[in-house]
Chain A
């Protein structure tokens, strides 16, 4: 298992390297001179030259990359041009709400979709099944910020069950925290819920066809025990894959949903940085989120072993 984990980590190196190059190139994608973009057209040549030197833009591109990359590897993502703070620090300041939101959304999505997916599989072909599948298609089709807007209209403006927007940190109490996060979490979780529901259903249907389910039935087990013990556990690998992949997209999705609900998370940080043209922050944030995303996918991959003894034992060898 350890060997396998190390192997997988090594296989990520080329991908992460390409990611780093792309992120580095982002700063060079500005139309025209980045320094002019940063300082505005009216800035004096001296000021521009000074900033260019400060940012290292006067060096050859590959030297710039090496310098930047050495920084990245040692945990130095540069300074925020606007906030005058290290990017890593800025990132940490905004991380909490995003993680809270993503986890809450993921939990909501998993609970809803496992439930719906199993029901749809059990009642396949019926009206219930079609309703569930329609719901999941809708979940996949409607972008999260739009779900968020509709949820605000219905539950915050019309029914006034939840606050329209805003954020309360966990330190103000779990209840307050969740009350403010519920609508955003549902909005964010809808797409994952749609994906996971589909996968749960099809995976359950596949598994229900297998011979060991027939064996289980021939043993005299109750249908519920067959469904929830024998089938669900076997359906879990593809479901887990979708959950893993979707958790990565949740973190980015969170960025968009945060804007809808004015939650001070990474999303807000990115949007604000775009307005401030704070490129180092954009660069750093994009890099950090992508690396997190890649590592999350790896974690999910490693988790298969926990669910499926076949994978676990093969890796031991």
Chain B
């Protein structure tokens, strides 16, 4: 397969749920793509729609309560048009997921071996013995010591880090092309976090799978990702390479996020920067720019008209009316050339 071709291409994805407050749109106009072997980070505060987007790729939401619009192109097939039967062949086989909370993501009443083998038997149909061997093999790949013993354990007998390794093993057991990792390290302690990220990096080097890394932690992004998508209140507001993001962030929200990151050098007496205000609820989304009422750069236009995702440079997209002024003010290298 052509390396430059998109493995996954999400175009104008809109996801809405039927709730007691009526129909709420959790994701609107999500547009980004992932190439083979690439790691893309999706960042944003909780509630910004990153998990909704990721779960929409495999359509894991309650189908009776969820409406999807737009396109999710996987190898040029729109997953939103595929029948359930075909989706099941993709889930866990070509695209698989790791969830945030390893404590609750494994079924407590089955052994981990049972859960691993179930997936293998479903997609690969090996003999039972071969499936168990393969399961032990993937467990070993994720760095679980003595996997031939652990395979008979129940999830509650393992630590959080070990369970997340099991989740990873489960996700990679059928050698997927794309791995969606939804905050895979959030629930873990710092040392374990680093180990888990290492495991993922190693696996990617071996298999060249695409990884979509959902996180609210910019440190994780810096460490693992090639490109970054920043989401705010259901929209993609900025998309660029990791280097550009840390050097030339354009969207005021992204800038705020970067500022609120604690750094090694900063003086302890420095107060951490905090973005003013709170994320508005989904049922009263502002008409103009969704970030306007928290934005230090907001103008009248921002309050009235919704900005679109524009190309600031070839590799940098941003959804802001004032990104040029912001770039100038911050002295970004390329800001002048874009206008």
In the complex, A touching B, CB below 8 Å? yes
For the complex, give the distance between the alpha carbons of A221 and B156 in Å. Answer: 23
B252 in the interface (beta carbon within 8 A): no
Residue A215 contacts which of B90, B106, B123, B154 (CB distance < 8 angstroms)?
Answer: B106
Task: Determine if A215 and B109 form an interchain contact, defined as CB atoms under 8 angstroms apart.
Answer: no
Chain A: which residue is nearest B89 at the CB level?
A: A220
A7 in the interface (beta carbon within 8 A): no
Looking at the assembled complex, report how far the CB atom of B106 sits from the nearest CB atom of chain A, in whole angstroms.
Answer: 6
Task: Determine if B60 and A217 form an interchain contact, defined as CB atoms under 8 angstroms apart.
Answer: yes
For the complex, give the distance between the alpha carbons of A220 and B87 in Å. Answer: 7
Indicate whether A310 sits within 8 Å of B92 (C-beta atoms), given known contacts A210-B104, A234-B107.
no
Task: Determine if B89 and A215 form an interchain contact, defined as CB atoms under 8 angstroms apart.
Answer: no
Task: Determine if A215 and B108 form an interchain contact, defined as CB atoms under 8 angstroms apart.
Answer: no
For the complex, give the distance between the alpha carbons of A308 and B108 in Å. Answer: 8
Task: Determine if A218 and B88 form an interchain contact, defined as CB atoms under 8 angstroms apart.
Answer: no
Binds A, one of B37-45, B93-101, B188-196, B280-288: B93-101
Residue B105 contacts which of A214, A222, A310 (CB distance < 8 angstroms)?
Answer: A214
Q: Of residues 2 to 27 in A, which have CB atoms within 8 Å of B's CB atoms?
A: none
Task: Determine if B156 and A219 form an interchain contact, defined as CB atoms under 8 angstroms apart.
Answer: no
Task: Determine if A220 and B105 form an interchain contact, defined as CB atoms under 8 angstroms apart.
Answer: no
Task: Determine if B60 and A313 form an interchain contact, defined as CB atoms under 8 angstroms apart.
Answer: no
Looking at the assembled complex, report how far the CB atom of B192 sits from the nearest CB atom of chain A, in whole angstroms.
Answer: 19
Q: Which of A212, A233, A307, A308 has the largest count of B CB atoms less than 10 A from its CB?
A: A212
For the complex, give the distance between the alpha carbons of A222 and B99 in Å. Answer: 20
A158 in the interface (beta carbon within 8 A): no
Which applies to chain A's interface (DSSP): helix, strand, loop or mixed? helix
Task: Determine if A309 and B104 form an interchain contact, defined as CB atoms under 8 angstroms apart.
Answer: no
A211 in the interface (beta carbon within 8 A): yes
Chain A residues within an 8 Å CB radius of B101: 211
Task: Determine if B90 and A220 form an interchain contact, defined as CB atoms under 8 angstroms apart.
Answer: yes
Chain B: which residue is nearest A218 at the CB level?
A: B97
For the complex, give the distance between the alpha carbons of A220 and B120 in Å. Answer: 10
Chain B residues within an 8 Å CB radius of A212: 104-108
Looking at the assembled complex, report how far the CB atom of A230 sits from the nearest CB atom of chain B, in whole angstroms.
Answer: 5
For the complex, give the distance between the alpha carbons of A56 and B231 in Å. Answer: 85
Tier of interface size on chain A: 20 to 34
Chain B residues within an 8 Å CB radius of A310: 108, 154, 156
A216 in the interface (beta carbon within 8 A): yes
B167 in the interface (beta carbon within 8 A): yes
Residue B122 contacts which of A221, A230, A233, A309 (CB distance < 8 angstroms)?
Answer: A221
Looking at the assembled complex, report how far the CB atom of B71 sits from the nearest CB atom of chain A, in whole angstroms.
Answer: 21
Task: Determine if A234 and B60 form an interchain contact, defined as CB atoms under 8 angstroms apart.
Answer: no
Task: Determine if B99 and A220 form an interchain contact, defined as CB atoms under 8 angstroms apart.
Answer: no
Looking at the assembled complex, report how far the CB atom of B333 sits from the nearest CB atom of chain A, in whole angstroms.
Answer: 42
Task: Determine if B107 and A216 form an interchain contact, defined as CB atoms under 8 angstroms apart.
Answer: yes
Task: Determine if A219 and B170 form an interchain contact, defined as CB atoms under 8 angstroms apart.
Answer: yes
20 other contacts beyond A215-B97, A217-B60, with CB at 8 A cut-off?
A211-B104, A212-B108, A214-B99, A215-B105, A215-B107, A215-B170, A218-B91, A218-B92, A219-B92, A219-B170, A220-B89, A220-B93, A220-B119, A233-B109, A234-B109, A309-B108, A309-B109, A309-B154, A310-B108, A313-B157
- A-B pairs with the 7 shortest C-beta distances? A220-B91, A219-B92, A220-B92, A211-B104, A212-B107, A218-B97, A211-B105
The 25 sampled A-B contact pairs (Cβ below 8 Å) are A211-B99, A212-B105, A212-B107, A212-B108, A214-B99, A215-B105, A215-B167, A215-B170, A217-B58, A217-B60, A218-B60, A218-B96, A218-B97, A219-B92, A219-B119, A219-B122, A220-B90, A220-B119, A221-B118, A230-B110, A233-B109, A309-B108, A309-B109, A310-B156, A313-B154
Q: Using CB atoms and an 8 Å cutoff, list the residues of chain A in contact with chain B.
A: 210-212, 214-222, 230, 233-234, 307-310, 313
